[in-house]
A and B are shown apart, each in its own frame.
Chain A
Amino acid sequence: MGVSKTDGTGAAPVAQPEPEVDANEAAPAEQPASDAAPQNEPLVKRWQPTEVPAAVSGNATVFESKSGGGPAPAAATAAAAPVKGPGGPVPGSYPTVADTQRIQSNPDAAARNLDITQGYSDLSKAMGQVVGSENANWSTFATWASKQAGVSIRGEDLPKAMTDAIRNTAGFQDKVDQVNGWLKKLGMPQIPDLPGKLAQHMVGTMDQLQGAIGEGNRKVFAEIAPEFSKYIDTFKGDTKYDQAKVDRFLQHFQPGQEGLRDAFGAYAKAQFETDPKKKAELMLFANNSIGMHEQTRLQPEIAKALNAPIDQVVKPALKKIIRDTMSNAGPFGSGKWAYDKLDKAGLVDKAISPLTNLAGNVWRKVATDQLMTLGTPSGTLKLGQDVPKAFPPNLGTVTNPDLQKQLNQVDRTPNTTRGSGANDWASFNDRMNFIVDLFRAYQQDPKLMTTPPFPGRTGSYSKGTVNGS
Chain B
Amino acid sequence: MAVPADLLGKWIPDAAAGETGEGPFAELEFRKDGKLRYALKGEGLDEALVMDFRTEGHVIVTRPPGANADAKTKYEVGQDGSLILEYGGQKGRYVKAS
Residues of A within 8 A of B (CB): 181-182, 184-190, 325, 328-334, 337-338, 341-342, 345, 347, 351
Say whether, besides A342-B40, A345-B45, A187 and B13 are in contact (CB < 8 Å).
yes
CA distance A342 to B42 in the complex (A): 11
Contact B40 A332 (CB under 8 A): no
Instruction: Give 10 nearest A-B pairs by CB, closest first.
Output: A329-B88, A333-B71, A189-B88, A187-B26, A184-B15, A185-B16, A333-B64, A185-B25, A332-B62, A341-B47
Q: Which B residues are CB-close (under 8 A) to A182?
A: 23
Does B19 reach chain A (CB closer than 8 Å)? yes
Q: Which B residues are CB-close (under 8 A) to A184?
A: 13, 15, 92
Q: Which A residues are CB-close (under 8 A) to B38?
A: 331-332, 334, 338
Tally the A-B contacts, defined by beta carbons under 8 Å.
86
The residue on A at minimum CB distance from B38 is A334
Residues of B within 8 A of A (CB): 13, 15-16, 19, 23-26, 28, 36, 38, 40, 43-45, 47, 49, 51, 53, 60, 62-64, 67, 71, 73, 85, 87-90, 92, 94
Contact B62 A333 (CB under 8 A): yes
Contact A338 B26 (CB under 8 A): yes
Give chain A nearest CB distance to B84 CB in angstroms: 11
Interface class of chain A by DSSP: helix
Give chain B nearest CB distance to A326 CB in angstroms: 9
Contact A189 B51 (CB under 8 A): no
Say whether, besides A334-B38, A341-B45, A189 and B23 are in contact (CB < 8 Å).
no
Contact A186 B45 (CB under 8 A): no
Interface class of chain B by DSSP: strand
Contact A342 B24 (CB under 8 A): yes
Point out the residue from B15, B44, B92 that lies within 8 Å of A331, measured CB to CB. B92
The residue on B at minimum CB distance from A178 is B23
Contact B40 A186 (CB under 8 A): yes
CA distance A330 to B51 in the complex (A): 15
Contact A331 B23 (CB under 8 A): no
Give chain A nearest CB distance to B93 CB in angstroms: 9
Q: Which B residues are CB-close (under 8 A) to A189?
A: 87-90, 92
Say whether, besides A186-B40, A331-B73, A341-B45, A347 and B24 are in contact (CB < 8 Å).
yes
Contact A331 B85 (CB under 8 A): yes
Apart from A184-B13, A185-B23, A332-B71, list 12 A-B contacts with CB within 8 A.
A182-B23, A185-B24, A185-B25, A189-B87, A332-B51, A332-B64, A333-B67, A334-B64, A337-B64, A338-B40, A341-B40, A347-B24
Q: Which B residues are CB-close (under 8 A) to A351?
A: 23
Q: Which A residues are CB-close (under 8 A) to B36?
A: 332
Contact B49 A345 (CB under 8 A): no
Give chain A nearest CB distance to B75 CB in angstroms: 9
CA distance A337 to B62 in the complex (A): 14
